[in-house]
Amino acid sequence: MREALELTGPLDAELWGSSMLGLFWRARDTLSLDEIGSDPAVTFGDPLIEAMGRIGGAEARLALAVIATVDKGELGLRAGEIRAALPEEPGEALPAWVADLGEAVVTDAAVMRENVFDDAYTMFLEARNRGGEAHAVGVLIDNNLGGMAKDILLVESIDSVQEIVREHPPRDGDVRLERIAPGVAAGRIHAAIELTDMTWDPPVSEDYAELRALALRRANEAPGYVVPAERSEIPSAERDRLIDEFLSSPEGEGFAPDREEAYAASLAIDFCADYVDGRPLRWSPVAVELFMADWIPRKVLGDADLFARLPTALDAWVRFAGRKSKLPEWAIAATCEAIPQWHETMVRRSDDPAAAGPAKEFLAAAKASGIDLEDQEALNTFVAGWNARSEVA
């Protein structure tokens, strides 16, 4: 509450409130099983605002006003109610800028993305407070993690970002910034943050939690809100067509349809289609790392023959995908060079039971019990027994 009295204006106050809400968001992983699914802002913040109400005074009214502005959920509503019930004592008038809280107007939006690998992009929303103070919030959205928000930054304006890109262009001009409708940016920001919220221990930056509430606030204020279209699943017929095209291409013509190389290519397609961003032809060094060092060990029950042949098959698939996507030769080469770097890690983690996901654990248990994984009836029987043992445990 004493910190609140030192705030200098609407943006400073929103940053302070967002940082506080970020503490609650970080602590959500400490919730008990009974509390999972509840709003961590309410769980951790409600005792705090109740204490503010009991103490009272200008400090309490100001702090509660900020929380009510930044959080648009249950905690914010409750903070507004408690603040409204507090009397204003003589000599305890709040700063004049408090009247401008929540009055920021979104004036511009832009997206900054990579031209070549397209591993991630940043959505910017620019806003201006009633007093004329401008700022822009940028949310980094990771395509390799299915569109999850990973980082949030605060800058002076979108023009300042454009100037930096112009004065310090990356290699081969690999970044472009273009204006978009604010409502489109807001929809993508909401979807990305929601996906991060649904993820256990997401790989976010140090600043993410502190600026999360501010980014959501700006997205809520954007005019012309557009709900992003849901990603459609790639049908199995389309995946089969891609495999057939690959096997008849110059890159894959030496591979037989019933051998490990074709299976490895199908795994690469499933990885991008189901777990990345739905584009099986988009590959990069980072995508290779995630595929080989994380996804394969967690998801795939393979043998030594598959792991020995996978690098060759993936190299051919990356070259095929790069040619079809018209990637520059340097980008295809850089992606292929990443493949041997992760082979040893893939094999080591695939042998580690602790690295396996639930599906792989189940298949490994079925195989160890002598179940033919191609026998659906036998698998169904094993599933029934597996579920029964899980319920007892």
User: What tokens were used for 83?
Assistant: 């603040």
Positive or negative CA dihedral for 40, 44, 45, 47?
positive
Q: Order of strands across the sheet with 134-142?
A: 148-155, 134-142, 120-128, 105-114, 175-179
Q: What is the pLDDT of residue 357?
A: 56
Distance of CA 126 to the CA centre of its chain: 21
Q: What is the pLDDT along the chain (393 residues), one digit of tens a residue?
A: 999 999 999 999 999 999 999 999 999 888 877 776 778 999 999 999 999 999 999 999 999 999 999 998 999 999 999 999 999 888 788 999 999 999 999 999 999 998 899 999 999 999 999 888 899 999 999 999 999 999 999 999 999 999 988 888 776 668 899 999 999 999 999 999 999 999 988 999 999 999 999 999 999 999 999 999 988 899 999 999 999 999 999 999 989 999 999 999 999 999 999 999 999 999 999 999 999 999 999 989 878 999 999 999 999 999 999 999 999 999 999 999 999 999 999 999 998 877 665 655 555 555 555 555 555 665 566 455 556 555 544
Q: Enumerate residues 6+ apart whose C-beta is below 8 A from 146.
A: 195, 275, 276, 277
Q: What is the pLDDT of residue 371?
A: 55
Q: What is the pLDDT of residue 368?
A: 52
Output the pTM of the full model: 0.87
Rounded to a whole number, what is the distance in angstroms from the first to the last CA of the chain?
48
- The number of residues making up the chain comes to 393
Q: What is the pLDDT of residue 29?
A: 83
Q: What is the pLDDT of residue 39?
A: 87
Q: What is the pLDDT of residue 306?
A: 92
SS3 label, residue 120 = strand
CB 176: neighbour CB atoms within 10 A? 13
Positive or negative CA dihedral for 275, 276, 278, 280?
negative
